Each structure stands twice: as C-alpha cells, then as structure tokens.
C-alpha cells in the first residue's frame, strides 16, 4: 500500500506533516536547511524582532523528567536585518517551505516587522503573540486579549500578502475566543499552542532555578493541553491549525492530526531524540498508517470529530 504523507498548510504543500517549531534552532539558513535535510516537511525560523535582542541571562533551560523542559530564553535573536538575509539564503537553497516568525512590543511594530520580513518572501509568516516568559518587559501577551490579538492580526495582514499563522497561548481562560477573534481579523491559520507558563524551584536554595524565575514548559508534559486546544479550536474556526506541543512520537503526531491539526510542530523532541527525530517520527506515522489502512494524511485530519470513525 502506498502511503502519502504530504499535507497542505494555507495552500503550501508539505512533503510530510512535521514542521520544525520556532525557537529550537538559531536563525541561520544552515540550521533551517539541516532540519529539512533530516526529514522536516517545513521549518520555522526562531522568533525575530526589529532590533537585535540578547534575551535572558543563564540559566535559561531546565530539563524535567519525562521528556519535558522549562525555558526562558527571552526571545534572543539578531534582529530583522540579519534574519531577513538568512531567510533569503535559505529560500534560495531549497524548494521546501520556509516559514518566518515575528514578535513585537506593539501593534505598530508587528505591522512593521511583517512588512520587513516579507522582503525575504517566506512561504508563510507565523506571528508570535504568545511567548509566556517576557511579560515583565512587554506587558500582558497579546494572546490573552481577543481585541489586542485581532489588532495585531489586522496590522500584520495590512503589511503583507503572505499567509499568516497566529501562534496562540494555552495560558488563557478560553483559547477558542482568541482563535475566533484572529480568524475574524483575517488570520489564515493558527498555531496551537505555545508553551505553558511554569516554574521550578531548587529546594536546596529555595530559589527558582531559571534566571527569569518563570518560563515556558514544553515537551511531553504539555501534549494533552495541546491536543485539547487543537480539538476545541478545530470546532470553533474554519482556518487550518498547526499543532505544536509535546510531540515525541508518531503516535503523538497522529493524536494532534486526529484532533484537527493539518501539520505538527516538533520542538523539544529534537533535544530528547536528536535531529533525526523527524525521520523517526515520519517512519512511525507511516507504520501506523499501514497497520490501520490509512492511505493519506488527509484521512486522519479531524478524525476524532467524526461520529463514524474508521
């Protein structure tokens, strides 16, 4: 039986449903291309803003038992000028989808960033309105307020013709309210989800372990949160969903696809399984499909919502 792993996100074809999530590798073209070489169906650049940013001081990462981690990197990046050149470089060296990712401290700055990053002609632009560990500097994340989230969406749409994906936060009372707001404001897709806010304390020193005190929890621990968010948003909106959060295995990816995602982000798994996790997870997806008589990824997307399941 021939298995078709390809899928589509905002009309952009992916050879398989696995996407390098933003924030895992640096902004260089070589890092993005390396992930594609190792089996990613598409790659998302680390979040970038207009000016270079150093991020938080060490320690910024803490591994948690069970293939999870807490991080507060602080959105370090070289700024738009350098990142745009790296995106152009990457685009010139591959036909696979390259996705930009932007963040900003104001609605107007989001619009400016969208306009500037569009000069690199990425296939898609992911808009990070939901980083959980920079609240002290930027105030409440835009993802917590449907009106603010919609304002950002409109500002970005006004400054680019490239399809945009709004990255949503799980740290809200009702994620579907935000999803509906950005859909109505013109979002072409949403990402469910960014990391979950968390903290770890060293009981010997009685102090938080990471320097920023709070950070974003990622990895296996948040997979059920991501699956729930995808499932609920699939029912609430009519735009595609990029599922992200806790995918370590092919079965994890299948769960998110069945919940309604059209593609799945891979992040922490790169640390725990290695960069070849893309090939491994794709192989596990293919084996699952063969064993359960699925020919195409399209047969799996949203299957958990159907009354007469296969």
- The Cα 86–Cα 29 span in angstroms is 5
Residue 176: CB atoms within 10 Å: 16
- Angle in degrees, 0-180, between the axes of helices 80-92 and 29-37, rounded to the nearest 10: 40
Catalytic residue among 49, 131, 192, 277: 131
Let me know if 235 is exposed, middle or buried by CB neighbors in 10 A (0-12, 13-18, 19+). exposed
Verify cis geometry, omega within 30 degrees of 0, for the bond prior to 59: yes
Find out whether 258 and 226 touch, Cβ atoms under 8 Å: no
Active site residue 49: no
The helix (H) or strand (E) run that includes residue 266 is strand 263-266
Q: How far apart are CA 212 and CA 60, in angstroms?
A: 7
Give the distance from CA 220 to its chain's centroid.
15
Residue 63 DSSP class: E
> Where in the sequence numbering do the catalytic residues fall?
131
């Amino acid at each position: 039986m021939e298995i078709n792993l390809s899928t589509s996100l905002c009309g952009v074809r992916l050879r398989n449903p696995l996407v390098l999530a933003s924030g895992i590798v640096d902004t260089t073209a070589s890092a993005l291309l390396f992930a594609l070489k190792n089996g990613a169906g598409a790659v998302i650049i680390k979040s970038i803003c207009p000016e270079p940013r150093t991020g938080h001081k060490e320690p910024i990462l803490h591994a948690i038992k069970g293939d999870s981690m807490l991080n507060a990197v602080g959105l370090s990046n070289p700024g738009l000028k350098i990142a745009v050149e790296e995106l152009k470089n990457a685009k010139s060296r591959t036909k696979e989808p390259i996705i930009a990712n932007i963040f900003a401290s104001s609605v107007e700055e989001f619009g400016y960033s969208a306009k500037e990053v569009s000069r690199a002609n990425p296939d898609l632009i992911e808009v990070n309105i939901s980083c959980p560990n920079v609240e002290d500097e930027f105030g409440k994340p835009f993802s917590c307020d449907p009106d603010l989230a919609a304002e950002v969406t409109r500002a970005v749409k006004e400054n680019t013709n490239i399809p945009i994906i709004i990255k949503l936060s799980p740290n809200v009372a009702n994620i579907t309210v935000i999803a509906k707001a950005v859909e109505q404001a013109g979002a072409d897709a949403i990402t469910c989800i960014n990391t979950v806010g968390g903290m770890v304390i060293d009981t010997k020193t009685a102090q938080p372990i990471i320097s920023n005190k709070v950070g974003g929890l990622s990895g296996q621990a948040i997979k059920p949160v991501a699956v729930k968010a995808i499932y609920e948003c699939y029912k609430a909106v009519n735009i595609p969903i990029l599922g992200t959060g806790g995918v370590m295995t092919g079965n994890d990816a299948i769960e998110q696809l069945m919940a309604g995602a059209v593609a799945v982000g891979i992040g922490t798994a790169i640390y725990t399984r290695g960069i070849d996790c893309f090939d491994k997870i794709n192989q596990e997806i293919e084996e699952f499909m063969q064993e359960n008589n699925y020919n195409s990824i399209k047969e799996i997307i949203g299957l958990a919502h159907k009354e007469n399941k296969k």
